[in-house]
Chains A and B, each alone.
Chain A
């Protein structure tokens, strides 16, 4: 063993089409260390990770592993060197089993034939060793929960002999209860001397898990500090280079609670049941609950993707039967979907084309004024793009989300459902989106907000409906504590909050 750190990247630089994305970035990670890499979107975290993963090659700088110079021409080379990367989109094949995925490309053989029994046995042993003996090696990966897929991905990395596992927003798709599994896993990895490079926007996880933090801003290194030497507020300040006063902006002056705009009575289908919910004009109602508790299912029912088959719905007092999205749009309902890239945007089309999409598809008249309104909405959201003709795939997550919101605002909805609007969005852009949500309420929209980060629901919503197992387990006022919400979400408590 040498005293050299496991990984030392020095003076890393990278430019795409002449635009510098990284310049002079240093990163050192020690064995068995959990190291956070933070920065706003566009700060260069992803590029740095991709250089480490062998997806991109650095234009400048050196990489040393255990004190020896290394360079990765392609992903397989990085893998052989012991660096594994768990991206947000998992590198798993849903049709194959857990064992087949873990051993993909390195299937054990006996007399030239794939030895499936050895493969399954080795997988079972590895999973038990990680503390997940319940995960079946022969289960099809497509049938697993996100958390279990993540565990499969990490087990795969370990079986490839990884010394350093880079995790890109590992908790973005996890419910709070599943995050605990990940915490446990990270601890297990460190005990084994495996280092973890943790990229996340969730400050609490960073402070819970990581020993050191490397901060990037605008493609440059800001600092690399021990977690003990910095407070969350200081960290945010150094990431964004300005101080965000309060994490959640207060309601805008002039926001008035009006008539009930969305009313669901006894709504139910295959996934949720007995849903009674009212959202007034100017009100933000939060839907909280664990992953799979039915949050997204309610959003999809309201918007007619998987409609309610029981109960009634009314918009602005008029009863409506929403059986497909087109009817929802006609009734003045908008849905910002959970999966921005798959359901919210046509990635290869321009900002303008995306922002006009709902209008194009549903407006009978194409007035010049309406189209001009779209441009106005885009600029009011502080969209950062090279122009209206830029393809949305090249925008940051926060700006992409602004395009989605703009698309819906163009249709002038009365009710807007936001499903995980800040997923995978950096701190600065999140703050901007919170303000956007506040202004939606101020304009008299009824806002139904779904977020797996409890703090968002608590900080933004006027009322919180907590789901458990497909039903509303209880309702809490905004500003309730996380413990109160969790009591309902985990099914420990039922009924209306009395206090």
Chain B
């Protein structure tokens, strides 16, 4: 007799399957509507959408894995776009300096977030909400309207593409690959799972937990910096208004959709990238089918809630006991 033991899919495999399903269903829906989701223009649109949320979500994955959070990334991205555009000031020669400066500034904001969370023990939700508001105040008073000038050569980062793949999406994927390697193969990365899983266990095992947490926040800040560089490249100027798009919430949604536990300790960037992609595909489908924005947001919200509810069920399953008398009554021996 052969018993078919259903093999449990890992969450990452599940989310990639979900991405495939969303692509298939979305493609079919668009086709029924008389369009083609996989036309070049639509593919470019989808991939372009992934890069900005992608940068933010990769960094967000790191902090969430550590059982932290960063609500300031939208403001950091806006600030970064201004730092980039004003430093470049239309001169191609200033690009390297501007990029370095953006990464420094965004990394410092991340470090501040990390320090507040790690040393002052402020709840990360409140801590990063606070730093975000401080940045908002600064942006609102110092910059009314766009500032700075991005040289054409750097605008390429926003618009160039190889075949139908935008360079920005490639850069995002490269950063994602680096983050996957970082989490899997470096001690600091691996320790993020321990810190998020149980900070006391991590500390008792000799892990410098504050350093790990700080690293995650710095990297998250720098990812927001990259997002800011992309914003600058796309707009050709720095924009304080960018924060009004609430990118941080998209990023958190993508991370959670990607199967990373909001309570930390479990998940990864591979899932996050799929989460970002699912949101991008949905947006493209809604756009192509010209669904009105209200219904669009409702659908997005429903998808996110459904996904997390599904993970919660799986989580319960994992902890459940092995059933001894399930379904078929056992034969007397």
Q: Which residues of A contact B (CB under 8 A)?
A: 75-76, 79-80, 91-96, 100, 104-107, 109, 112-114, 142, 156, 160, 268-273, 294, 297, 469-470
**Chain B residue with minimal CB distance to A75?**
B204
Contact: A271 with B190, CB < 8 Å? no
**Chain B residue with minimal CB distance to A140?**
B318
In the complex with contacts A93-B201, A93-B265, A109-B187, A271-B321 CB distance below 8 A: yes
**Chain A residue with minimal CB distance to B191?**
A105
Contact: B323 with A93, CB < 8 Å? no
* Nearest-Cβ distance from residue B204 to partner chain A, whole angstroms: 5
Contact: B324 with A76, CB < 8 Å? no
* Nearest-Cβ distance from residue A378 to partner chain B, whole angstroms: 32
Complex alpha-carbon distance, A481 and B100, angstroms = 77
Contact: B194 with A96, CB < 8 Å? yes
**Chain A residue with minimal CB distance to B330?**
A273
Which A residues are CB-close (under 8 A) to B191?
104-105
Which B residues are CB-close (under 8 A) to A297?
321
* Nearest-Cβ distance from residue B64 to partner chain A, whole angstroms: 14
- Cβ of B314 < 8 Å from any Cβ of A? no
* Nearest-Cβ distance from residue B260 to partner chain A, whole angstroms: 12
Contact: A273 with B325, CB < 8 Å? yes
Which B residues are CB-close (under 8 A) to A269?
325
Which A residues are CB-close (under 8 A) to B323?
270-271
Contact: A96 with B193, CB < 8 Å? yes
**Chain B residue with minimal CB distance to A296?**
B321
Q: Mark B200-215, 1 if CB is under 8 A from A, else 0.
A: 1111111100000000
- Cβ of B198 < 8 Å from any Cβ of A? yes
Which B residues are CB-close (under 8 A) to A294?
324
Contact: A105 with B206, CB < 8 Å? yes
Which A residues are CB-close (under 8 A) to B290?
none
Which B residues are CB-close (under 8 A) to A160?
206
Q: Mark B149-187, 1 if CB is under 8 A from A, else 0.
A: 000000000000000000000000000000000001111
Q: Mark B288-306, 1 if CB is under 8 A from A, else 0.
A: 0000000000000000000
In the complex with contacts A95-B266, A114-B187, A104-B202 CB distance below 8 A: yes
- Cβ of B326 < 8 Å from any Cβ of A? yes
Contact: A470 with B187, CB < 8 Å? no
Q: Which 10 A-B pairs have the closest CB atoms?
A: A270-B323, A105-B206, A113-B185, A105-B205, A104-B205, A93-B197, A273-B325, A470-B324, A91-B201, A76-B206
In the complex with contacts A95-B265, A273-B325, A106-B190 CB distance below 8 A: no
Which B residues are CB-close (under 8 A) to A469?
324
Having A104-B207, A105-B207, A114-B184, one finds 4 other A-B pairs with CB under 8 Å, namely A92-B201, A113-B185, A270-B326, A273-B329
Complex alpha-carbon distance, A113 and B180, angstroms = 13
Which A residues are CB-close (under 8 A) to B318?
142
Contact: A270 with B325, CB < 8 Å? yes
Which B residues are CB-close (under 8 A) to A100?
190
* Nearest-Cβ distance from residue A85 to partner chain B, whole angstroms: 8
Complex alpha-carbon distance, A107 and B194, angstroms = 12
Contact: B185 with A104, CB < 8 Å? no
In the complex with contacts A92-B201, A105-B191, A270-B324 CB distance below 8 A: yes
Select one of B186, B205, B206, B265 contacting A112, CB under 8 A.
B186
* Nearest-Cβ distance from residue B318 to partner chain A, whole angstroms: 7
Complex alpha-carbon distance, A470 and B330, angstroms = 12
A-B contacts, 12 of them at CB < 8 A, read A76-B204, A79-B204, A93-B197, A100-B190, A105-B194, A114-B184, A142-B318, A160-B206, A270-B323, A271-B325, A273-B329, A470-B324
Contact: B193 with A93, CB < 8 Å? yes
Which A residues are CB-close (under 8 A) to B321?
270-271, 297
Which A residues are CB-close (under 8 A) to B324?
270-273, 294, 469-470
Complex alpha-carbon distance, A413 and B140, angstroms = 64
Which A residues are CB-close (under 8 A) to B187?
107, 109, 114
In the complex with contacts A113-B186, A114-B187, A79-B206 CB distance below 8 A: yes
**Chain B residue with minimal CB distance to A271?**
B324
Contact: B325 with A114, CB < 8 Å? no
Complex alpha-carbon distance, A95 and B200, angstroms = 15
Contact: A93 with B194, CB < 8 Å? yes
Most buried by A among B190, B191, B205: B205
Which B residues are CB-close (under 8 A) to A156?
205
Interface residues of B in 199-252 (CB under 8 A from A): 200-207
Complex alpha-carbon distance, A91 and B206, angstroms = 12
Complex alpha-carbon distance, A268 and B329, angstroms = 10
Contact: B185 with A114, CB < 8 Å? yes
Complex alpha-carbon distance, A323 and B318, angstroms = 22
Which B residues are CB-close (under 8 A) to A79?
204, 206
Which A residues are CB-close (under 8 A) to B204?
75-76, 79, 91
Select one of B198, B203, B326 contacting A75, CB under 8 A.
B203
Which B residues are CB-close (under 8 A) to A271?
321, 323-325
Which A residues are CB-close (under 8 A) to B194?
93, 96, 104-105
Complex alpha-carbon distance, A371 and B4, angstroms = 57
Which B residues are CB-close (under 8 A) to A113?
185-186
Complex alpha-carbon distance, A193 and B208, angstroms = 30
Which A residues are CB-close (under 8 A) to B329?
273
* Nearest-Cβ distance from residue A39 to partner chain B, whole angstroms: 24
Contact: A470 with B206, CB < 8 Å? no
**Chain A residue with minimal CB distance to B197?**
A93
Select one of B197, B207, B326, B330 contacting A95, CB under 8 A.
B197
Contact: B325 with A272, CB < 8 Å? yes
* Nearest-Cβ distance from residue B203 to partner chain A, whole angstroms: 7
**Chain A residue with minimal CB distance to B323?**
A270
Contact: B186 with A93, CB < 8 Å? no
